[in-house]
Structure 1
């Protein structure tokens, strides 16, 4: 088994910017470390400056620090598997897409816009010396009820943000998941040139 380490750079076929190279989604978090106001603000400023269709900016977020009521309400929506490791996070975030405008009309590419904004957020987390783990394992319906979300918005992702931990007093199965080799499909399976299935690289 690989040694537990916060530094697990991606093995890539071309040089990557360090923010992309070093971004990963750990589950071993420090239960004592806190996130500063400046760090938290920087994450959402990064999200705010993501591109969006027609500058519609459909991304919305709910955020709570560990110990706050908002944190506990987001935590309650998580799947059992995510609850097993997310409690030590410095903050929990709920990413929400605004799917309808003020006139009630559909907002094109709202989910895509939230995805772009959230990628900015997690890359800024790397720049701030933090880690961020995005989760699909949560109940959107529970989130809607817990926060009385209005019509026309859809919670799509939960995000645990914090500092990497030392693994002490952490379930060994969680530590094991954070030491497995990082893997991605090769470019030959993802990017095509002359036709579908014909690798460009």
Structure 2
């Protein structure tokens, strides 16, 4: 059993996994680009089918022209709290790949799955640096394609990620302050089944 960050695991998982969570209140502190690139570097070491590495990261640090460019991609709700983050990352995946020994690209079944593995590594590396990362799909997909000049075919916009040092929850609207705590999980027995699917 592991207990950390107001969370309890039935098993002896590393506290790293319990200490990672998704705050909405960030301190608004500037983040050094070297630290952000360290976080993204962890993401780019994630596993992927055929080592195709389909993830792509477009990032912006707060108080920069790039921030002003990327911030409108978030929907209004996410803008309301992500405005105090230190960085925003837009996560994309390349939908096609050429298998080893082939020059022809075909649809990758796992491009989103692999990009999700990169997101997990990003979140854990942020936590190791004393930061947190909050992933979100509340984004304007069409606006992302337009602003970032993403081709219509070949890439999927997966999510946005806000990264920063956790801040004072009183900066959030009342209805979000009560949710500003690490969330629990269902018991493992409700999601892990031995030998047959049980919903």
TM-score > 0.5, shorter chain as reference: yes
Higher strand share: 2
1:161 to 160, 163, 180: 163
State the partner residue of 1:4: none
Write out aligned runs for 1:174-185 (5 A). Answer: 174-179=176-181, 182-185=183-186
State the partner residue of 2:53: 57
| Structure 2: runs of 5 or more not aligned | 99-103
Give distance in 2, aligned partners of 1:170 and 1:188.
35
Judging changes above 3 Å, is the alpha-carbon distance between structure 1 residues 147 and 195 closer, same or farther for their aligned structure 2 residues?
Answer: closer
Note the alpha carbon deviations across 1:83-116, whole angstroms, 9 max, x for none: 1100010000000001124755323311011000
Give distance in 1, aligned partners of 2:77 and 2:95.
28
Write out aligned runs for 1:1-201 (5 A). Answer: 8-31=5-28, 33-101=29-97, 103-150=104-151, 151-179=153-181, 182-197=183-198
Contact 2:27/2:84 (8 A) holds in 1: yes
Structure 1 stretches of 4+ with a deviation exceeding 4 A read: none
* Structure 2 length-normalised TM: 0.88
Q: CA RMSD in A?
A: 1.9
How many correspondences in the alignment? 190
* Structure 1 length-normalised TM: 0.87
Give distance in 2, aligned partners of 1:35 and 1:19.
21
| Structure 1: runs of 5 or more not aligned | 1-6
